[in-house]
Amino acid sequence: VQLQASGGGLVQAGDSLRLSCATSGRTFRGYSVAWFRQGPGKEREFTAAIRWSASHTYYADSVKGRFTISRGGTENTVYLQMNSLKSDDTAVYYCAASSSIILSSLRVPSSYAFWGQGTQVTVSS
């Protein structure tokens, strides 16, 4: 499974961005797909996840109410809609996917077998 993350950019605080994670080679059916982010000098942290089959979504407390993860119209894309962006959201955003992740491991980076290359989001205050 190859993942391609895109949609990052430079925005001002309060603006919105939509990130896309596209897969090639197979679909996301049966997978859990997540976004993680890594800010300057920080560890990679969980941001949001979606279980494809049930469309259940999960969020880090820091983004809840501002970010929305969703399935695309096809089975090949997952989006992360980011609203009311803050300077603390500045990071490289990575999408990740894997099958058979138990709920308690959904927020753990090492649970994911496949990773995209990352897309930079910079929010200026």
pLDDT for 92 equals: 98
Q: Are 19 and 6 in contact (CB under 8 A)?
A: yes
Residue 26 has pLDDT above 90, yes or no: no
Q: pLDDT (tens digit, 9 = 90+) per residue, 47-88?
A: 999 998 877 999 999 999 999 999 998 899 999 999 999 999
3 state SS of 76: coil
- Give phi and psi for 95, each to the nearest 5: -100, 150
Look up residue 125 and give its amino acid: S
